Amino acid sequence: MTNNPPARLLDLTRLVRRAGRVLTGVDRVEMAYLRRLVADDVPAFGLVRTPLGYVLLDRAGMASLVLRIEGAVPWARPDLLSRLARGQTAVQQAAQTEVRRLAMARTLPRGLAAMLRKHLPQGTTYLNTGHSNLTDRVLQAAQGLGGRIGVFVHDVIPLEFPQFQRPETVEPFRAKMHRVQACADVIICNSADTLHRAGQVMAQWGKVPEGIVAHLGTDLTTPQPDLLPDDLPPSGPYFISVGTIEPRKNHALLLDVWDVMGADAPTLLICGARGWNNAAVFARLDGRTDTRVIERAGLSDGAVAALIAGSCGLVFPSFAEGYGLPPVEAAALGVPVVANDLPVIREILGNIPVYLPAHDRYLWEKTLKDMAEAGQLGREKVQFQAPAWSQHFNTVLRSL
């Protein structure tokens, strides 16, 4: 076990940028690190890149940020500087205003390294968990502190499966990973599968940084049916898909299956925002006139948990994943999972899911029909103990 560093600096750029949105998988990881570092004995600081430069938060500022992200304290009203920033929502403007108000120090971009040297002790560890702000300026400034640099690599899917990405995002992601390979002392991965894949990518450019595998903790949300809108849950048996509607998630297969099953099909409930490069799927959703497929975005975590708990099962035909939180959360709630046979799902869930090939429409149709007929009363209770964040941090922080 290594000695604790004199301080830790956590990059919070992603969380502040995404203020006001429902937290997705990467957001939740950054939020978990924020909560843990605020509660830890080691001095903690937060770094945020804003349109006007960099902001440094101390532990008190980070704790205040937690309360605002969680909704316990309202965001400040956007100030003039935030309102002048283009392309931001009112909540994002408010978040930028708030972090400047909470800041212990601020600087224009060119002053970042000097600001960090002035306020942080030598040997400070820099942690980036959100795939954001991985620039030469930031990484070089972090190196100037003389501590270790740990970067969380959630996946390398944009490089392995560029066909599922917005074309303009692939090369910037490649450049980020190249900088991580060159500058990071440690890469933190959510699975052994991700570490293996990241290592294969980075080995093309040189020495691969030390790797840590730490399965994500699962913040089990208590199902809250009272938070559901009046038209949910659907009447009768239903299956649920949770996640952004993007090509990688393979919603097209589910729509094919429901088209074949016809009027007697159970309901398919798709919970997730619309993503990118998926015009054909969006057109199919918009063109449906039946109620066998329901699309819903923006539901609270408690509402989604209630829908998962009441379903016949969670369907997850995704082509590629770094981790796959929805199947883990469903299994932790005792709900059956039907998933594409991905190495990472097997790594986390073993033989708990029903594994079906992502292209076998007939097998998906038959399996889901059988499960719908059995219903909740006929299903076997899933027994699964989800990984805890305490286990994750015991693994990560002792290595940093």
Q: In this predicted structure, which of 1-10, 151-160, 333-342, 385-394 has the lowest mean pLDDT? A: 1-10
Instruction: Match 């990472």 to its residue by tokens.
Output: 344
The pLDDT assigned to 201 comes to 96
Structure tokens at 23: 């937290």
> Whole-angstrom Cα distance, residue 293 to residue 240?
10
The per-residue pLDDT for 94 is: 87
pTM recorded for the entire structure: 0.91
Reported as a single tens digit per residue, the pLDDT across 104-163 is 999 999 999 999 999 999 999 999 999 999 999 999 999 999 999 999 999 999 999 999
Rounded CA-CA distance 177/59 in Å is: 29
What does the DSSP assignment read for 302-316?
A: HHHHHHHHTSSEEEE
Q: Which residue has the tokens 């400034």?
A: 141
pLDDT value for 1 = 45
Each residue's pLDDT tens digit, 335-358: 999 999 999 999 999 999 999 999
Task: For residue 265, give the DSSP letter.
Answer: P
CA nearest neighbour of 324 among 303, 347, 306, 308: 347
Q: Pairing between strand 44-50 and 53-57?
A: antiparallel
How do 105-107 and 53-57 pair as beta strands?
antiparallel
Sign of CA dihedral 14, 20, 21, 24: positive
Q: Indicate the DSSP class of residue 195.
A: H
Q: Which domains does the chain have, with CATH numbers?
A: 8-218+390-397 (3.40.50), 225-378 (3.40.50.2000)
